[in-house]
Amino acid sequence: MASETNESGPRLRSDAARNVERITVAASEAFAEHGLEVTMADVAERAGVGVGTVYRRFGDKAGLVDALFTSQVDAVVMSMDAVSRAEDPATSFVDHLAELCAQLAENKGLRQIVLQEVRSPGAAQSAALERIIPASDVMVDRLKELGWMRQSFHGADVPLILAAVGAARELGGAAHPALWRRTLRLMVDGMRQDSRIPADIADVPEPAAPQPQTGI
């Protein structure tokens, strides 16, 4: 009996880990395609598990969304750190920003979260900003030191750029799905030190980081 019990424990843990992976993959795909309107039942059906399993592993829909969003934030912070250490940080930064924006363009759920992050951040979005903005500040300072980026640009501008690109993708809809690329191009041009945008337009006060709302 002892041998059977010892074997069942690891097997159960392995099954649980596989279920979490299946749920995570299914939820990522569903939210990317259909946005945050996706239900836990939708995720469970796509993952091939019972809806009760999804609730047991993530608590509720907000817990599932927060888990996926936290994973995205981890990747963004790591990418920003890599830009700051790159031999050619300017090229690395533009590539990094273009990749982030492409992910936004392809992921409806992520766009909804980013736009909410700027308008009325909740606890998860506020925690994300607390991690992203310091990493963004280091990255931006490096680009300023090299003379590539305007002194008026700040780390807190990066989430705003992502929100603007996400909004452009929403406005473009199915008729103009690549509209966001024009928005990104204009913004990259505006942040460069050699930009021809007049200084009295570009040199604006440092943006305040969004604050979580309380009450209704």
Domain residue limits, the chain = 14-59, 66-195
Residue 22 confidence class, pLDDT cut points 50, 70, 90: very high
As a dihedral over the C-alpha atoms of residue 85, residue 91, residue 95, residue 100, rounded to 10 degrees, the angle is: 60
- Residues of the chain above pLDDT 90, percent: 68
Helix, strand, or coil here: 149? strand
User: For the domain 66-195, what is the CATH superfamily, name and number?
Assistant: Tetracycline Repressor, domain 2 (1.10.357.10)
Residue type, 18: R
Helix, strand, or coil here: 192? strand
Q: If one looks up domain 14-59 in CATH, what number appears?
A: 1.10.10.60
In this predicted structure, the answer to whether residue 3 has a pLDDT above a threshold of 70 is no
- Contacts of residue 68, Cβ cutoff 8 Å, sequence gap at least 6: 24, 27, 28, 31, 109
Res 46: pLDDT: 97
Which residues is 192 bridged to in the sheet?
Answer: 149
Residue 5, both tokens: 């019990």
For residues 179 and 171, is the Cβ–Cβ distance under 8 A? yes
For residues 180 and 172, is the Cβ–Cβ distance under 8 A? yes
For residues 80 and 138, is the Cβ–Cβ distance under 8 A? yes
Helix, strand, or coil here: 177? coil
